Amino acid sequence: MDEPRNRTLKLCLTARPAYLSVVTRFVEAGAAAFGMGEKDALKLGLAAEEIFLYLCAAVCPGNVLDIECFNGLYYTRLTFHFSAPELHLQGLNIAPTGTCEEESNLRDLGLLIASRSVERLHLTVEKANRISLAVTKEKTYPKIAERVPCPEAPDTLTLETADGEGVKRFALLVRQCSAAPGLPSFFDCPGRLADMVAGGEYRLILAMNAKKELVGGVLFRDRTERIVEAFGPYILHTGDGKATAEALLDACLSRIARTKALGLLSLSGLPAALEDRFEPLGSSIFYATDRPPAEHPFFFRHLHEDPGCEVWSQGELTAWLERAYDRLVLARNIRILRNMGETRSGFSLFSTELERERAVATLRPLLPGADFAANLERHIRFIRKEGFLNLFFELDLGVPWHAEMIPVLAANRFQPEILLPFAGQADLVIFQHHDATEP
């Protein structure tokens, strides 16, 4: 597979409505060249149209705009890079800031409408108000439910990196053998998993028995710069799978032990035999329209010595953090943020990551502002109205102003659920929104 830079198309223009057709043609032609089906390419083109017009009108009119179209093999990601005056940044909140909440004011809803035709929308703010706004459209793959025979327990194991056919067979066997409630849906589509691995973002180690039959595997990817997420290990043979699971986990740890990664995270279920090799972080309930709510436990495996760090808190979160740090044996200096009457001006900005397939919305604070409370309330209303059943808020304890959000979150029915060590500038707390209508 080509280097990422060789899988990127770029378009540089200024944010003027007259260029709309240039943008949509660039995006649709790029997506088609990357192997997206016509329907998927058109949807990405629609998202590009909404975003471009919105940026032209409300965020960076007339400014230089760089658009990148990236071939992730199983998806195409479109990223808009631009700078915007601070006054206009509030317009990047996915929930409109005006009083009008009706969809008749389409200009204010540009990002939300764009998000409806893609799987993922993500916003980052770098220094000097340099913004990256990305939308991701995944390819459509066929679901395969073919049954393959399960191998017997192995006497000897060899571990190897998978090729395309091995990946597809792994997907089929995982779907067939694993009963984990949190099993990711990409296992339904072996072709998609093959592209995920071939694209380089996911790595897969397979375990084979002496007859060269596939008996297990572990999939993993960089979730953030510092956190690797593991899927599995999955045991695909009959009988006791402890030795296979341990060998796969050790191989995964050895691959990442001398990388930037500080921790290994498991969100989609672990074999019981491996649970004592991880640290339980807690669990979250995930809701879906087509099945009952399911509890997903989070497990963590630290890869290095804990250097300790400083974290910021206030109010009731402090006691929660003290209990969490004591339970996880993490050395932290908790500093308390105090409001001393200082003035907070400006408008806050949240990044809203929307994952439609899992009905998950994740808010992350990007810029502080005096309107935290009102902005959060707007986001909750809009995200719930869009049908997202799972709403999370990620708070980075290493950023002092993030702690200003703590009482606002509590007042809006967000509860701290999971503490993710080192997942931000320091640790990250994931809050989950509990709707008043929940049982």
Partner 1 sequence: MPARRISLSSSITMRPNLDALVPAYVREFEPYIPSKPDPELMKLYGCRQLFRLNNNENPLGPPPGAQEVIRRFPPPHGALYPSGDSFYLREAIAAFHGLDPDQVLVGNGANEVIAFVIKAFCEQGDNIVTADKTFAVYEWVAVFSGIEARVIPLRDEGFDDIGMLRAIDANTKILFVCNPNNPTGSYWSRERLKAFLDAVGGERIVVVDEAYFEFVEREDYPDGVSLLSDYPNLVVFRTFSKMYGIAGLRIGYLVGDLAVVDMIRRTCVVYSVNRLAQEAALAAFRDDTGHIRRTRALVRESRAFLHEELAKLQLPVISGEGNYLIVKLPGSDTLAYRKMMREGVMIRPMTGFRYPNHIRVTLAKMEAMEAFVAALKKTLA
Residue 104 or 333: which CB sits closer to partner 1?
Answer: 333
Report the alpha-carbon distance of residue 44 to residue 138 in Å, rounded.
Answer: 9
Residue 10 or 143: which CB sits closer to partner 1?
Answer: 10
Omega before 416 within 30 of 0, i.e. cis: no
Q: Are strands 130-138 and 202-208 parallel, antiparallel or unpaired?
A: unpaired
Nearest-10 crossing angle of helices 20-33, 38-54: 150
Q: Is 302 in the site for partner 1 (CB under 8 A)?
A: yes
Q: Please report how close the Cβ of residue 168 comes to partner 1 at its closest, in angstroms.
A: 28
Site string for partner 1, 250-279 (x = CB under 8 A): x--xx--xxxx---------------xxxx
Q: Please report how close the Cβ of residue 348 comes to partner 1 at its closest, in angstroms.
A: 27
Site string for partner 1, 328-357 (x = CB under 8 A): -xxxxx------------------------
Nearest-10 crossing angle of helices 190-198, 164-177: 130
Q: Which stretch binds partner 1 (CB under 8 A): 179-187, 325-333, 376-384, 403-411?
A: 325-333
Start-to-end CA distance of the chain, whole Å, equals: 49
Structure tokens of 159?
Answer: 């571990």
Q: Please report how close the Cβ of residue 304 comes to partner 1 at its closest, in angstroms.
A: 6
Which one among 306, 355, 377, 386 touches partner 1, defined by CB under 8 A? 306
Q: Is 308 in the site for partner 1 (CB under 8 A)?
A: yes
Q: Which of 223, 172, 225, 216 is nearest to 194 (CA)?
A: 172
Q: Reading across the β-sheet that carries 202-208, which strands appear in turn?
A: 158-161, 202-208, 214-222, 227-235, 263-266, 294-302, 279-286
Q: What are residue 52's phi and psi, to 5 degrees?
A: -60, -45
Report the alpha-carbon distance of residue 297 to residue 281 in Å, rounded.
Answer: 7
**What single DSSP character describes residue 188?**
G
Q: Please report how close the Cβ of residue 1 comes to partner 1 at its closest, in angstroms.
A: 17
Residue 213 or 222: which CB sits closer to partner 1?
Answer: 222
* Residue 216 neighbours by CB distance under 10 Å: 30
How many residues touch partner 1 under the rule CB under 8 A: the total is 25
Report the alpha-carbon distance of residue 219 to residue 201 in Å, rounded.
Answer: 10
Q: Which stretch binds partner 1 (CB under 8 A): 48-56, 136-144, 305-313, 406-414?
A: 305-313
Q: Please report how close the Cβ of residue 245 comes to partner 1 at its closest, in angstroms.
A: 13
Q: Please report how close the Cβ of residue 216 comes to partner 1 at its closest, in angstroms.
A: 17
Which residues of the chain form contacts with partner 1 (CB under 8 A)? 249-250, 253-254, 257-260, 276-279, 301-308, 329-333
